[in-house]
Amino acid sequence: MKQTTVTTNAPCWVELGTSDPVAATAFYRELFGWRPDGDIRPDADGYTQMFLGEASAAAITPRFAPQQPIAWTVAFAVADAAATATRIEAEGGRILKAPSDVFDLGVFAVAADRSGAAFILWQARAFPGADVFNEPGSLGWVELLTRDPAGARAFYPAVFAWSVAPSEHYTQWGLDGQDFGGMLVMGENFPPEVPPHWLPYFSVADVDNTVERAVALGAQVLMPTYSMPGGRRIAVLRDAQGAAFGVYTAPAGG
């Protein structure tokens, strides 16, 4: 699935909670060509939308609690946040922040799956989510890293009606068989202190060049550039404040 628009039960948005929003904004502006929203609401507590041209692509925000990790968080579009929250709890997940109104923009909630991987629920009103997907500088893939693959395969289809396409080493998530994300099992190469989490991947025109520029801007390489079967080239980075994210280049036509 090459997602091009917001779809119910699919990824719709991604936002970074960070210790230094100013530095993070400068980093991602240089890396992806984003520009910050110049009309920040005084009551938005520093929440800043980032645009790719005229299209909303992501957000950068300060952490709102000392225990909040420095991390990207993936949001999934839902038709009814309250009903989805009820399903999450029925399937063994947790609601970390109950559904609440965000101005006139929509209804927001934060949840965690059975293993603790956090994600956002977004019930749109005035703001549907990202305006751009799968174009250089925008969100194109989401990946769950977990130590409980069996639990995840039971949880997410029950909550979001996702299709599951498992293979020996990787599981892909989709809607009606059209994939938008995947699942990677966290093995011994992951330190025990690294919690289960969702990792966003951003499309770029050239992965090797992007990794080189990211390192020059202060990022670390967590997974070196790698070519996957089918021609997709990927890498995983960590920005200077500690947030991990992936980048990828799809083959022509894919």
Beta strand pairing call for 171-175 and 163-166: antiparallel
Residue 250: pLDDT band (50, 70, 90) is confident
139-249 maps to CATH 3.40.50.2300: no
| Token pair recorded at residue 51 | 């645009």
Q: Give the pLDDT score at 230.
A: 76
- Cα dist from 234 to 137, 207, 229, 248, whole Å: 14, 7, 11, 4
Q: Please tell me the class of the 11-124 domain.
A: alpha beta
Inform me whether the pLDDT recorded for 43 exceeds 60: no
Inform me whether the pLDDT recorded for 119 exceeds 90: yes
Asked if 11-124 and 139-249 have one fold, the answer is: yes
- Looking at 36-50, 57-71, 116-130, 169-183, which range is the least confident one? 36-50
By the 8 A CB rule, do 122 and 75 touch? Answer: yes
Residue 126: pLDDT band (50, 70, 90) is very high
Inform me whether the pLDDT recorded for 41 exceeds 60: no
Q: Give the pLDDT score at 178.
A: 84
Percent share of the chain, pLDDT over 70: 95
Inform me whether the pLDDT recorded for 254 exceeds 80: no
Write down the pTM of the prediction.
0.95
pLDDT tens for 198-241 read 999 999 999 999 999 999 999 999 999 999 877 789 999 999 99
- 28-32, 60-64, 162-166: range with highest mean pLDDT: 28-32
Domain boundaries, the chain: 11-124, 139-249
pLDDT tens for 69-78 read 999 999 999 9
pLDDT tens for 184-201 read 999 999 999 999 999 999
Inform me whether the pLDDT recorded for 16 exceeds 90: yes
Residue 251: pLDDT band (50, 70, 90) is confident
Q: Give the pLDDT score at 166.
A: 82
